Amino acid sequence: MNAAAIQLMNVHKHYGKVHALRGIDLEVRQGEIFGFLGPNGAGKTTTIRCMLDLIRPDQGTIEIFGINPQEKPEAVKAKVGYLPGNLQLDGNFTPREYLKYLRKLRKDKRPIKEIVTIAERMDLSLDKKIKTLSQGNKQKVGLIQAFVGDVPLLFLDEPTLGLDPLMQQEVLNLVREQVEKGTTVFFSSHILSEVQKIADRVGIIRKGKLVEIAHTEDLISRSITRATVQFSEVITATSFDQLKNVSVLRVNDHGKSFTLEVKGEMDHFIKTLARFSVKDLSIHRPSLEEVFLKYYQDVEGEG
């Protein structure tokens, strides 16, 4: 098993009377893509800032590759590429000047050609003043400065914000390429479909508490699946009574068509269908977005 790139143990953070982080425990393995989910104000950005020692937690322990960022912040920052959610750029630079400046600060001796190549892939002009760029093009500058550093860990806070669908896909391609080199990626996003495409695991944060951590596919597979079954013969709804976690939603066509909800694994449900003559079967597996919204609604209802 890969060693931990990120470890948080019982991390708390207050902003005055607001308890922004409430005992976060988290481990992200090296080479993993970890998606961090939650609405605005849930604690996503605060968690990332604490890990980078941009703000300090009131309680708890953080380690990045075994290094405490409060004790050795520069050692941590040297290992990290970071795209902040509230990206601020000096508008009087051109992207080329800005990226060269950052490269000099990092003492990065690799050729400028790498920056140019990524800029071309992202359809970004490097020689216009940043203040004249659209918000989407400013986001591209932020992404490039995160990607070009030869670092083992990327923090990406809403990486595709303001980008069109084609450019969103290109960003995901760049993330995959980084992971193929062994980079660990920790990213937050409101676009849950892109998290589903790329994340190995996801964490769901609600009001400063990490309420779920799971492999992406596991989270989806244990949720509710909707199935529509067309039989060749009339079937009674009681045929499904012995199955746990199966609910009949609708019966149509005088008992020949059923719409059902299946919670969790499908195995017993499929074996029951095999007892009958099935003309057609349509299964709708939920997206990560559907799982997230339902999960969040369920947890809200408990509070």
Q: Count other Cβ atoms within 10 Å, centred on residue 194.
A: 21
Higher pLDDT: 240 or 32? It is 32
Residue 173 has pLDDT above 90, yes or no: yes
Where exactly are the structural domains of the chain? Answer: 224-285
pLDDT averaged over every residue in the chain: 88
pLDDT score, position 301: 44
Provide mean pLDDT across the span 212-218.
82
Cα–Cα distance list, 275 to 227, 233, 259 (Å): 17, 12, 17
Higher pLDDT: 223 or 277? It is 277
Residue 302 has pLDDT above 50, yes or no: no
Buried b (16+ CB within 10 A) or exposed e, 141-179: bbbbbbbbbebbbbbbbbbbbebeeebbebbbebbeebb
Has domain 224-285 been given CATH number 3.30.70.250? yes
Share of the chain above pLDDT 90, in %: 56
Q: Output the pTM of the full model.
A: 0.77
Provide mean pLDDT across the span 90-112.
86
Residue 85 CB contacts under 8 Å (≥ 6 apart), including other chains: 44, 45, 157, 158, 161, 188
Q: 180-200: per-residue pLDDT in tens? A: 999 999 998 877 778 888 899
Provide mean pLDDT across the span 199-227.
82
Residue 300 has pLDDT above 60, yes or no: no
